[in-house]
Amino acid sequence: MIIKGSRYEGTPIVEVTDAKGRQVAAIGIRITPRAPAGFVHTTTDNDRLDLLAYHYYRNPEKFWLVGDANEPLDPLELLRTPGRHVLIPPDRGTKG
């Protein structure tokens, strides 16, 4: 069951075959919507996606908003690359 307001709402449920040959239901691929940046954050050596989400949204579980707004982002890259510019989109108010 997908919670109303979730970022997965509207994503199709598909049938796939698991490693044992069984048909199981799975969430299909979620198309990442284009997210305009509200801010540009310059990373420091202490930044993590959950900490950025807490700083900007007061909710560390919204780390995925930051991930969706940027090119594919390795969370560890934030720690390895201080000075990187990370786009911070507005809070969409969804539940994740």
What's residue 67's pLDDT?
A: 84
The structure's pTM equals 0.66
What's residue 81's pLDDT?
A: 80
What's residue 24's pLDDT?
A: 95
What's residue 69's pLDDT?
A: 86
Residues of the chain below pLDDT 70: 33-35, 73, 75, 78-79, 93-96
CA distance 68 to 51: 16
- The tens digit of pLDDT for each residue in 28-47 reads 887 776 667 789 999 988 88
